[in-house]
């Protein structure tokens, strides 16, 4: 129920959606929706919509260096003056100050507070990125709102729960909606997914849409994934000539060595 509500909110952030709209989509009374949503996420529906607008607009500003701040604000339902005030209240920086701070060669590391995440040049990332077409993925999924640091334990529980559906060609996919450089690390929204046959009888099935993707093959330590992704978003994407085509990207796991904290995975960003 809550996943369905979140799905609707994410897809309609640029529209004037109300709590009533979300409740109607979920076929619930708004009072029941609000009660269940708050119990599951720790946030009210309206607070969640407002936070997502502020954070997704910041991501859009980060990735689209040529987009005007006024137009980004309008896209998410704000006038130029209201957007600046709301943005500063949420992010503690004005939109102009935020834009100056992003796309730098280094940035604070939210998971290692005493360290900086340091980025490569556009050319270095470009050598490892391929633009490819991907087909749709039919997956079992579970949605989480929390800290990416919990992923290891969550993946272990997820694969154990759906062990009966694992095959030799099964792909494990992690779909992410938030940027932990912008969203508080304990409030990040993400899905754990596992490819299955189209006739899988489970209820928690969805399609991850394919299309054109910028794909970076990561082969290294798990703790370095954040720095690599941020480098792609901060340095490569704004200078690549491409734009991100959705509110989310995903990672496809190819090999996992939990004992040595090593992983091979494809970091997939939808582009246009």
Q: How many domains does the chain have?
A: 2
Same domain as 135, residue 7: no
In the prediction, which pLDDT does 171 show? 97
Q: What is the pLDDT of residues 213-222, one digit of tens each?
A: 999 999 999 9
Q: Report pTM.
A: 0.90
Same domain as 166, residue 83: no
Residue 181, domain extent: 128-270
In the prediction, which pLDDT does 247 show? 66
CA angle 267, 270, 272 (to 5 degrees): 140
In the prediction, which pLDDT does 93 show? 92
Same domain as 78, residue 154: no
Q: What is the pLDDT of residues 53-70, one digit of tens each?
A: 999 999 988 888 788 999
Non-local CB neighbours of 134 within 8 Å, separated by 6+ positions: 210, 211, 213, 215, 268
94 lies in a domain?
yes
Same domain as 189, residue 59: no
Q: Which helix (H) or strand (E) holds 45?
A: helix 45-63
Round to whole Å and give the CA distance between 25 and 16: 14
Same domain as 217, residue 133: yes
Same domain as 63, residue 141: no
In the prediction, which pLDDT does 105 show? 85
Q: What is the pLDDT of residues 147-198, one digit of tens each?
A: 999 999 999 999 999 999 999 999 999 999 999 999 999 999 999 999 999 9
What's 139's domain CATH number?
3.20.80.10
Same domain as 146, residue 85: no
64 lies in a domain?
yes
Same domain as 85, residue 150: no
């Amino acid at each position: 129920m809550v996943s369905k509500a979140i799905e609707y909110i994410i897809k309609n952030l640029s529209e004037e959606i109300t709590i009533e709209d979300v409740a109607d989509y979920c076929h619930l009374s708004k009072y029941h929706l609000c009660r269940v949503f708050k119990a599951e996420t720790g946030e009210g529906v309206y607070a969640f919509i407002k936070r997502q607008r502020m954070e997704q607009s910041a991501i859009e500003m980060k990735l689209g260096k040529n987009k005007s701040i006024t137009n980004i604000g309008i896209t998410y339902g704000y006038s130029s003056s209201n957007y600046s005030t709301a943005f500063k209240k949420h992010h503690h920086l004005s939109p102009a100050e935020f834009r100056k701070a992003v796309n730098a060669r280094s940035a604070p590391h939210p998971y290692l507070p005493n360290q900086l995440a340091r980025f490569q040049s556009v050319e270095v990332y470009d050598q490892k990125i391929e633009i490819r077409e991907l087909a749709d993925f039919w997956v079992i999924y579970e949605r989480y709102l929390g800290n990416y640091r919990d992923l290891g334990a969550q993946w272990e529980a997820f694969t154990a729960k759906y062990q009966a559906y694992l095959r030799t060609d099964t792909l494990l996919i992690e779909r992410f909606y938030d940027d932990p450089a912008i969203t508080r690390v304990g409030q990040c929204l993400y899905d754990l997914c596992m490819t299955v046959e189209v006739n899988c009888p489970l209820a928690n099935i969805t399609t991850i849409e394919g299309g054109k993707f910028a794909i970076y093959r990561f082969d290294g330590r798990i703790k370095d994934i954040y720095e690599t992704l941020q480098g792609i978003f901060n340095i490569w994407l704004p200078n690549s000539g491409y734009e991100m085509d959705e509110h989310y990207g995903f990672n496809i796991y190819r090999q996992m060595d939990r004992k040595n904290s090593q992983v091979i995975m494809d970091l997939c960003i939808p582009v246009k």
